[in-house]
Amino acid sequence: MELNSLLLLLLTALVCLTSSQDSCGNRPLVGPPGSSRIVGGRDAPEGAWPWQVSLQLLSIHTCGGTIINNLSVLTATHCFLKFWGRKRLFRVVAGLRELSTPGGHAQIRFISEIRSHKGYNHVTTENDLTLLLLSSPFNFTDHVQPACLPHDVRHEFILNFSHCFISGWGTSYYKGEHMNTLQEAEVELIDRRKCNLLSWYGGRITENMICAGLESGARDSCQGDSGGPLQCYSEDEERFYLIGVTSFGDKCGVPRRPGVYARTSRFADWLKTNQTASVSAANRLNTRLISALLSVVLMLF
């Protein structure tokens, strides 16, 4: 074979591999968010949040989570407080809209490793982040997709989000029952200084947290939404980013007590390091392919 065509092949292979990793934050079945705002919560359309998963303990919904690649799901550490080391009791369900009727698009996976942030503090709720490594990868479909993650705080700022949403099967009011159909609501990101005012959270919100909701409390996450996504749409890139992981709130929907989320941009390094094992396992084949191609090219010289 000619050197030129080999180089072309190598280049094509590299381009394919990089672009496949770039695909995130798209929802094939639902268009971009419109300009009309959603009041309160409502049933999410089919395929609206393809990265949203239900984390289930003995088949009962306990928390939300977000797919960030085909072998990893991001969720909250406090979801596991009573179940340390009990990964076999849990399962992760993607492609789900109605909890009671999973349907043909649902994909069920088990957990091979629970990686909780070592700095988690149950008093302050600081670092409420856990990465779940799955025992087998999700198949990406119209109903199952990964969300994008900001590279760092600067990137989060540049993205200049226009619309942010929360989603989950959590209760619609404090101490209520879980919802059967996935709910969604549009929320506003609330400035940290405002959220830390004495009449709000009074200094409890750190740089690693982000407040979102409405001042009136009319739109909020609630029990059972924990670990699920706060997702924002980038008009420039036309895709969704996971900006926060649902962490805590003072009851639900209380004025000046919006939902508080672990701010993913502040954990970019932690996420990169801790995802490595899973991604490297998935990419082992790719790496082998690249080195094989490279050695063929080198042999020709």
Ligand X SMILES: *[C@@H]1O[C@H](CO)[C@@H](O)[C@H](O)[C@H]1NC(C)=O
Binding residues for ligand X (CB under 6 A): 21, 69-70, 115, 137, 139, 160, 162, 269-270, 273-274, 282-283, 286
The first and second tokens of residue 50, run together, are 């393809």
Q: How far is the CB of 4 from ligand X (least distance, A)?
A: 27
Q: Which is nearer to ligand X, 208 or 274 (CB)?
A: 274
| C-alpha separations of 92 from 58, 189, 201, 269 in Å | 11, 28, 32, 25
Beta strands in 125-255 (DSSP E): 130-134, 163-168, 183-190, 209-213, 229-234, 239-248
Q: How many CB atoms lie within 10 A of CB 233?
A: 18
Which positions are annotated as active-site residues? 78, 128, 226
Which of 86, 76, 84 lies closest to 127 in space, CA to CA?
Answer: 76
By beta-carbon proximity to ligand X, the closer residue of 130 and 274 is 274
Residue 33: closest CA among 205, 243, 186: 186
Nearer to ligand X, 215 or 236 (CB): 236
Smallest separation (angstroms) from ligand X to the CB of 131? 8
- Tell me, rounded to whole angstroms, the distance of Cα 36 from its chain centroid: 24
Q: How far is the CB of 199 from ligand X (least distance, A)?
A: 29
Which residue from 229, 251, 253, 249 is spatially nearest to 241, judged by alpha carbons?
229
Nearest to ligand X of 112, 283 (CB atom): 283
- Residue 119 or 202: which CB sits closer to ligand X? 119
DSSP three-state, residue 284: helix
**Count of Cβ atoms closer than 10 Å to residue 279 Cβ:** 17
